[in-house]
Chains A and B, each alone.
Chain A
Amino acid sequence: MFGYYIDLALRSLKHNRVLTGLMVLAIAVGIGASMTTLTVMHLLSGDPLPGKSATLFYPQLDPDTSVASSHSQPTDVMDYRSAMDLWSAHRADRQTIVVDSDLKVTAPDANVPPLMMTMLSTTADFFPMFDVPFQYGSGWSDDDDARRSRVAIISASLNDKLFGGANSVGRTLRLRDTDVRIIGVLKPWRPSPLFYTVRGGRFAHGDTATFYGKIEDVFVPLSSGLEINDGNFYQFNCWGMPKRTGHLIDAPCEWVAVWVQLNNAAKQADYRRFLHDYAEQQQSLGRFTHAENTRLPSLMEWLDYNGVVPSDVHLQTGLSFAFLVICLLNTVGLLLAKFLRRGGEIGVRRALGASRGAIFAQFLVEAGVVGLLGGVAGWLLTLVGLWLVRQQPTPYADMVHLDAFMFVITFALAIVVSLLAGALPALRASRMAPAFQLKAQ
């Protein structure tokens, strides 16, 4: 029966090509617009480390002593001393400190002019903790952190730029005036967002596209990085004057971030207590004034708190779904016009024994066929839409692609929309009185 309905549907759709074209176009445009924005939304609001993110946490303290009344929130990042205390306590399964800075990079044995690059100074746990993929070599050890080893790990893109993608482990890189040995090269890695540097979202007024930038090009042990690029570190905020600009180790400034991995609920509770006790202890030592102000959000909670998805993207998604609703209403109207015109055909079929359900099914199948055609055209329009997004100069443009999941969603959405649109018209068509229709002929 289903095959017969499909045949009937195709005949009917061929019969009035203009109306069919209009319906398919309406669904296609609606699907194209909403799938384009939904794909961007899916990409930007997704989990940067699926399967792992639930065990990653972002400890927050309030080392700012300059204000009398308590802040409503702890500071976004922390001072060096607090970060070092938390890190060296080793109370979590893994813990790392991250801080970004810019510096001049040259490769003495590569014929490339000096480059300005961003360097991430971090600790050994960073790589296993965030599942960072290596192409060549591996990360450094805790020992390298302690000994201030002059070693570095570089990104795939820097390796391509300097060494043409060859295995560069063992070669030398000059970071500002210091030579370091390359011990690892990463595979292309593009977490979305660049979660471990996310901060300050509450001050961004929804202008958060910069959270989706590329990873740093050079990674060095924190202890080495602080020496190599001394004088070039930026504070997130200071509540007193640093002794020397860009040298923040002993300054009353927040500028480094700590991440910890806590594998189960008991450890998470323990760490929360540890964090609280640490703040209390610092307050009794006179270093803190707002000890009660500690938090331990999980990775996804931290991203939510920072409102990482840009407000323009939210707006576009809302807009395109409103657009889809209008296309849906439009299709309901057109289907209604199409179905009710066929009173004669319905009358004959009913008179020959087709039940109401059969008529309903027949017209619903016809609506579904329209939806499928609309889905194909909508998929093509989505590809065009995503291509347009990729032409935009936004930081996340290079990541925007239709994955298998969103591909399936495209067709599912098209068919659901067309069935929704077809349900009422099909119901009305199945309710028509056959005798009256036949008489009118």
Chain B
Amino acid sequence: MDIKPIFSTLQRHKFTACLLIMEIALTCAIVCNAIFLIGQRLQLMQTPTGIAEHELVYVQMADISDRPDVMARTEADLAALRQVPGAKSVMLINQLPFGGSSSNMDIKLSPEQTKTTISVAQYMGENMLSTLGVHLVAGRDFRPDEFVDIDKVYAALRAGDLTAIPKPVLITQAMAERLWPGQNPLGKQLYVAQGIPLTVIGVMKELVRPNQRNNGLHYSLFNPVRMPMSSGTYYVLRCASQDREQVLRSAVVKLRKLDPNRIVLDKGTWDEMRRDYFRDDRAMAGILVSVCLALLIVTALGIVGLASFWVAQRNRSIGVRRALGATRGNILHYFQTENFLLTTMGIGLGMVLAYGINLFLIVHYEVPRLPLMYFPIGALLLWMIGQAAVLGPALRAAGVPPVVATRSV
């Protein structure tokens, strides 16, 4: 189809045409970026965590750490929890993946180094591989004799006695790859605090950190340190996923039976914890989706309005064309092509704008670069919306009878 007449018509409606192009361009730019941001959040929410996500329940109790018998009482709690029917494995851990708050450790590659290489999440607790369901890809798990009570570690640190500090650590693959790219991390040394050397004895496939996702989502390590029931620690029970509610209920009953005056600060399944952790992201993704939809609808309505106006305005010239032999199809195609041209110009401008908005977001909101694949997605969406919106007015135009040409001169 010849597009020259379309251009010369648009030339006479420069202002309205520009308006439509600008509207499409802005919509395109925002929709491209919004879809990208939605994708980012969704991807984050589906991050593999490396643990048996659907088989874990946790109970967090109020602090009793200032009692002298805290270790014994913790042992009694754990023994009671092992009796819970359905519980396959039980542990006390200092923090949980996606738990929200975290304890972290600064890692250096040599004792002389002044600057920290990376900061990683520091997990502590006995019986972790079997309870959390973390997989080892190399090396071995801790031996029972390698575990040390945390108050002994603190005492050793204060006394400056490095021999009493447990040296073996398990690290994640992601962390190993960051510290020693392409090398075998087993047996390698890393340094913490004032140059305390730790030795890598095993590599975990994945283990997500409790928060600080911008500092390396999978940078975590495990120390063989036995925790007392203190603030922030969780009792974790692993069970079949259908038993979770039952196990959680009987775990709380067991703990209350040992001491009815204790306060349960928090309890739930790990899936609920994950849901809580991502609630803001979910809300943001929801907002972005609704804004995108609203934008596309508003733009479509704008196209319908302007196209209707043009059709009404050109009623007589359509009649003349029909009288001179143009088919209904010709008229229909004319308006569809016109819309396609306008939308394409809008998309072209929109791409540039989208790139600009992305640059702004990179500078201000730590957003990654917009991948090129989002441009065709945005373009396709707007072409579709444009064609759908113009169809009604275009059909109305095609329905104009040739006899209109002879009327009202």
Would B19 and A22 count as touching, CB distance under 8 A?
A: no
**CA A231 to CA B19, docked complex, whole Å:** 67
Would A333 and B305 count as touching, CB distance under 8 A?
A: yes
Closest 4 CB pairs of A and B: A337-B309, A330-B302, A329-B23, A334-B305
Would A232 and B231 count as touching, CB distance under 8 A?
A: yes
Q: Is A68 an interface residue (CB 8 A)?
A: yes
Q: Is B96 an interface residue (CB 8 A)?
A: no
**CA A368 to CA B208, docked complex, whole Å:** 55
Chain A, Cβ-Cβ closest to B366:
A205
Would B16 and A336 count as touching, CB distance under 8 A?
A: yes
Q: Is A416 an interface residue (CB 8 A)?
A: no
**CA A323 to CA B63, docked complex, whole Å:** 49
Would A241 and B157 count as touching, CB distance under 8 A?
A: yes
Contact of A312 among B66, B280, B298, B302 (CB under 8 A): B280
Contact of B291 among A33, A115, A206, A428 (CB under 8 A): A33
**CA A209 to CA B279, docked complex, whole Å:** 12
Residues 299 to 344 of chain A near chain B (Cβ within 8 Å): 311-312, 314-316, 319-320, 322-323, 325-327, 329-330, 332-334, 336-338, 340-341
Q: Chain A residues with Cβ under 8 A from B15's Cβ? A: 336, 424, 428
Q: Chain B residues with Cβ under 8 A from A102's Cβ? A: 63, 231
Interface centre among A25, A311, A326 (most CB of B within 10 A): A326
Residues 14 to 57 of chain B near chain A (Cβ within 8 Å): 15-16, 19-20, 22-23, 26-27, 30, 34, 37
Given contacts A322-B30, A330-B301, A333-B302, contact A232 B294 (CB under 8 A): no
Beyond known contacts A245-B154, A337-B305: 14 more, CB 8 A cutoff? A25-B301, A29-B294, A69-B114, A104-B62, A206-B365, A209-B280, A315-B361, A325-B26, A329-B26, A329-B302, A330-B298, A330-B302, A330-B305, A336-B309
Binding site for A on B (CB under 8 A): 15-16, 19-20, 22-23, 26-27, 30, 34, 37, 62-63, 65-66, 114, 154, 157-158, 214, 231, 261, 263, 265, 276, 279-280, 283-284, 287-288, 291, 294-295, 298-299, 301-302, 304-306, 308-309, 312-313, 361, 364-366
Would A316 and B287 count as touching, CB distance under 8 A?
A: yes
Q: Is A243 an interface residue (CB 8 A)?
A: yes
**CA A322 to CA B28, docked complex, whole Å:** 12
**CA A332 to CA B17, docked complex, whole Å:** 12
Contact of B306 among A245, A334, A392 (CB under 8 A): A334
Contact of A241 among B154, B301, B309, B313 (CB under 8 A): B154
Q: Chain A residues with Cβ under 8 A from B158's Cβ? A: 241, 243
Q: Chain A residues with Cβ under 8 A from B295's Cβ? A: 323, 326
Q: Is A386 an interface residue (CB 8 A)?
A: no
Q: Is A50 an interface residue (CB 8 A)?
A: no
Given contacts A205-B366, A322-B30, A329-B22, contact A104 B263 (CB under 8 A): yes
Q: Chain A residues with Cβ under 8 A from B157's Cβ? A: 241
Q: Chain A residues with Cβ under 8 A from B30's Cβ? A: 319, 322-323, 326
The digit string for A89-115, where 1 denotes a CB below 8 A from any CB of B, is 000000000000010100000000111
Q: Chain A residues with Cβ under 8 A from B361's Cβ? A: 315
